[in-house]
Amino acid sequence: MAEHRLHIRLDCKDRCQLHLKDSFYPAIVKNISLGGALVHFQDPLPGVHIGDNCTVCLGGELDCEYICEVVRVGTSNIALSIIDMHLLNVLEH
């Protein structure tokens, strides 16, 4: 079955922190594109639903914060649609 994605998806294993409903959860980004991400959790998230808004923070050379909407919920993974992105801690030259 052919995939109909608008953006190239990159596989990764980057640690992140998901902020959902006033709680923070450590997680791993399994893949990411300009349009969305698949995020894996060690334990299932309580009370997460399709349509919930959340924030995913990724560290690295440039810290990024992604504003997202939950589009699919699995046992240990959730799929997110990226609504907006902000660079954090950008170095001034």
Closest CA to 37 of 20, 21, 13: 13
Q: What percent of the chain has pLDDT over 70?
A: 83
Q: Burial letters for 38-74: b for 16+ Cβ neighbours within 10 Å, e otherwise?
A: bbebeeebeebeeebebbbbbeeeeebbbebebeeee
Q: Each residue of 25-53: pLDDT tens digit?
A: 999 999 999 899 999 998 888 889 999 99
Q: Domain of 72? A: 10-88
Query: Per the structure, how many domains does the chain have?
Result: 1
Structural domain includes residue 5: no
Structural domain includes residue 76: yes
62: pLDDT confidence band, cut at 50, 70 and 90? low
Q: What is the pTM of this model?
A: 0.82
2: pLDDT confidence band, cut at 50, 70 and 90? low
Report the CATH number at residue 31.
Answer: 2.40.10.220
Structural domain includes residue 33: yes
Q: What is the pLDDT of residue 45?
A: 84
Q: What is the pLDDT of residue 61?
A: 57
Please give the helix or strand (H or E) that residue 35 lies within, else none.
none
Q: What is the pLDDT of residue 10?
A: 86
Structural domain includes residue 44: yes
Structural domain includes residue 3: no
Structural domain includes residue 4: no
